[in-house]
A and B are shown apart, each in its own frame.
Chain A
Amino acid sequence: MRAYTTARWIVLAVIGIMVTLLPELSPTYVSSSIALPTLTTGLCAISLTFLSTYGGLVSLAQTGLFGVAGLLAASLAVESHVDPALAGLIGIAAAATAGLLFGALASSSTGTYFLMITLALGEISYYLFSAVPAFGLHEGINAVFPPSWLGDPVRHPTAIYYFILLVAVGFHLLLRYLVRTPFGMALQGVRDDPERMTALGYNVRVHRTLAFALAAAIAGTAGVLAAWTNTRISADSISLGVTIGVLEAAVIGGMYSLEGAWIGAFTLTVLSIYGPAFTDRYATVLGILFLAIVLVSPGGLTGVLTSIDRRVRHALSNQQLPALADRGASEQPRG
């Protein structure tokens, strides 16, 4: 068992080292085309996973909020020449404010109704941005660059990779901390039984709305970072297809743990890059994979990994028990 635990830690450490040293270990292409989209999609997906895992709310408005921040920040920076960092912060604040509004509208419902309301809000965002010239219509806003201290995101993505990695790790740890705070504990209670929580003195709507605004700020951060790394953003960046893509990432990774968002985003990014090279029916293959995961492991790939880990530990502890029993028998005093 000890050897297995050590091996497990070694695997995690190797992954950690690879992620940390990725720009040094791999060509620029890997950082800019796989790592950066994984982190920005993962950040959007983790906002969805947080709401779902700890609030019991599956939102389809996260890409809409991603767009509110990304498109506003891009427009301010490119059209109004606002400093990109300040424009990004304004965009994130706008996404959080929109999240408060969206949350207030949707928070009295749950389940399918919540899903439908947030889908409608996401679609309203999409159609709004596609119709307003200031946001570039369907052509979008081009030449969106990050602050100069983050360098060129296409040719020299090292600085922006580390910056986004830091933001991603920061948000992940923040969410893990948050769920143990009084607010987070109460949010989990609201997820389990809103009526019970109301009877305990909780204003369930306010709680859900605040959680939604927090998730909106995270999705908004993803939107700003995605605009910087792609150097462009358009209304099509928040279309229904993208909304479903983020949901797929969250489900494939696993909706019951925050880690699932990163695993799902990585899987989806790799599949979307390499999948079409192997088959013309990439979308069908992705659909089958999605269906298989939903049916076989509702906990997604994280659920599969957790299950394997549990089985190995169980098998190893079963092996140890007879060995301990044998040792115990051999150590019995002889009469």
Chain B
Amino acid sequence: MNESIVRLRNLSKSFAGVDAVQAVEMEVTPGERRAVLGPNGAGKTTLFNLIAGAERPTAGAIELFGRDVTNLPAWQRARLGLARTFQTSRVLPGLSVEDNLYVAALGADGGHLRFVANRRDARLRSRARGAAERVGLADRLRSSARDLSHGEQRQLELGIAMVAEPRLLLLDEPAAGLSRAERQLLTQLLLSLDRDVTVMLIEHDMDVALTIAERVTIMHYGRVVLEGTPAEIRADQRVHDIYLGRTYAV
């Protein structure tokens, strides 16, 4: 059996008495496409923050790539091969599109304390331009990130995550605010990702989420209430109840 890419054990997070994530157990295998779904306030983004190291858990343990990273800071987890996008675009507004992607590649490369540019940087720049082409921003390389439209910023956000060539990609609502055509492009792009990359995805657009995901985890009030294939999730009445706001005992 393959080693898990993500393994969460009894993971919990409380904020001032509010249990955002409660005793979550989860295992994601290499190359898997996993959607984490649930209504607003279900704890999905908090779960991603815990995995990425942006938040410290109140209890439980996190393993990434077979290693306990519970106490590892976010930047070290990124160096292990984790990349993420955020719910709202977090591009670097003062830099150009190419520089955004270059800085992202540089971060994963670990050479950012160099005071002299060298051949490595030429390679990283080339990788940055490749990523821009992949996310459809090849003609905006010199544009300042703050001048991009919302859709373009989402594309850049995805490019920033992908240029690092991660082993684990956490995508927090990548389709939010995109037009129908842009969503289709995004879906195609995510489907075309190499199997070396494991993808975890939070998404409110069910078409996008269930097209990409092979397994789906449903969260509600901070707990995992259901896990299964997209077909099983579609057929389960509890999922309909949760999304329709009907009382559901967790």
Contact = CB atoms under 8 A, between A and B. Distances in A.
A186 B106 contact: yes
A204 B75 contact: yes
Contact of A185 (B74, B79, B103): B103
Nearest to A191: B94
Interface string A172-196: 0000001011110110110111011
A167 to B, nearest CB: 19
A3 B104 CA distance: 42
Given A181-B116, A183-B115, A189-B103, A199 B94 contact: no
A200 B164 contact: yes
B64 to A, nearest CB: 14
Interface string B93-129: 1110001001110111011111111000100000000
Contacts of A186: 103, 106-107, 112
A322 B189 CA distance: 45
Given A200-B160, A200-B164, A182 B106 contact: yes
A204 B113 CA distance: 11
B86 interface: yes
A200 B107 contact: yes
Contacts of A199: 52, 54, 74-75, 78, 83-84, 86, 90
B113 A201 contact: no
Contact of A210 (B78, B94, B111, B113): B113
A317 interface: no
B141 interface: no
Assign chain A's interface to a size class.
20 to 34
A6 B243 CA distance: 67
B92 A202 contact: no
Given A191-B94, A199-B52, A202-B75, A182 B86 contact: no
A181 B116 CA distance: 6
Given A189-B103, A199-B54, A200-B107, A183 B94 contact: no
A20 interface: no
Contacts of A200: 75, 78, 83, 103-104, 107-108, 160, 164
B94 A192 contact: yes
Contact of A189 (B78, B84, B92, B116): B92
B153 to A, nearest CB: 12
A195 B117 CA distance: 25
Contact of A188 (B91, B95, B115): B95
Interface in A191-241: 191-193, 195-204, 206-207, 210
Contacts of A183: 112-115
Assign chain B's interface to a size class.
35 or more
B165 to A, nearest CB: 12
A181 B114 contact: yes
Nearest to A178: B115
B84 A180 contact: no
Nearest to A185: B103
A213 to B, nearest CB: 12
Contacts of B104: 200
A182 B74 contact: no
B164 A201 contact: yes
Contacts of B86: 196, 199
Contacts of A181: 114-117
14 contacts: A181-B116, A181-B117, A182-B113, A183-B112, A185-B95, A186-B103, A189-B92, A189-B103, A200-B78, A200-B103, A201-B78, A201-B107, A203-B73, A206-B113
Interface of A: 178, 180-183, 185-186, 188-189, 191-193, 195-204, 206-207, 210
Given A199-B74, A206-B113, 17 more contacts: A180-B117, A181-B115, A182-B106, A182-B121, A183-B114, A185-B99, A185-B102, A188-B94, A189-B92, A195-B90, A196-B92, A200-B75, A200-B160, A201-B79, A201-B164, A207-B112, A210-B113
